Amino acid sequence: MGEQKGKSPTPPIVSVISGGIAGGVEAFVTFPAEYAKTRVQLRSDTKPPRNPFSIISRVYRQEGLRALYKGCGVLVVGSVGKDAVRFLGFDTVKNAFKDRETGTLSPGRNMLAGMSAGVLASIFAVTPTERIKTALIDDARGAKRYQSTLHAIRMILREDGFVGLYRGFAGTTLKQASATSFRMGSYNIIKDFEEVRNIPQSTAVNFVNGSAAGLITTLATQPFDTIKTRSQSAKATTTVEAITSILKDGGIRAFWRGTVMRLSRTVISGGVLFTTAEAIAKILNPMFVR
């Protein structure tokens, strides 16, 4: 997020709370699009549906609303942790390296701060929760072995050990480092540009800025997201095996499967995430800034 010119740095507790709550809200609101995107990326044929959103309506008609939220709980919990770490990491780096007069970072440092936050989030929150979410969605379309999220965790640990929760770590970390770099970095580059020019920061402006950051992030990082999804399917797969299977299924173009659904999700989620985080930070800052 970052503070406005002349204001005190964002306290770590504010970064953690505002980022965590915003992440949970964003994950729940946009989960059906995430579900559909994951289903498309897990396909092993070369004919993805012409209308990717048809997956949402089909699953809803055949299995009900509950099916569209398969794996949502673990993603919400993971998103709370992920965005708490991401906002804390980003704001910590930003507070350390910002220009003391303007309160801003150079574009390069903004991107580097986002990359650092993404790596931390992947290690401490994203990889295990994404692995469980993806395995649940993959299992639901086929074997249906998992009775619940807890049952899935127990099965993964029993069959693959603790390392099973970190399948796809390389792909997830690449995705998180790049995605957080583009998302947090571009959002703050836009915001710093506006604040230096005294453009007021309203809810609408925050939402537009967040949506723009989501658009940039999706187009730049989609291949990493596809690799991550394949390597975290119900059947344990290494990152190299995931890349090979994607190429076999549809060539280079297959790395951009799910782009339309992820784009719809990240544009909305970017707006929801940053608008929620900024709103909560405005409430909390007076309590902690002295």
Q: What is the pLDDT of residue 1?
A: 60
- Non-local (6+) Cβ contacts of 22 within 8 A are 83, 87, 272, 273, 274, 276, 277, 280
Note the pTM of the prediction, 2 decimals: 0.72
Q: Which portions of the chain are predicted below pLDDT 70?
A: 1-8, 43-52, 102-103, 234, 236, 290
Q: Which domains does the chain have, with CATH numbers?
A: 12-288 (1.50.40.10)
b/e 264-288 (16+ beta carbons within 10 angstroms → b): bbbbbbbbbbbbbbbebbeebbeee
User: So what's the pLDDT on residue 5?
Assistant: 46
Are 5 and 195 in contact by the 8 Å Cβ rule? The answer is yes
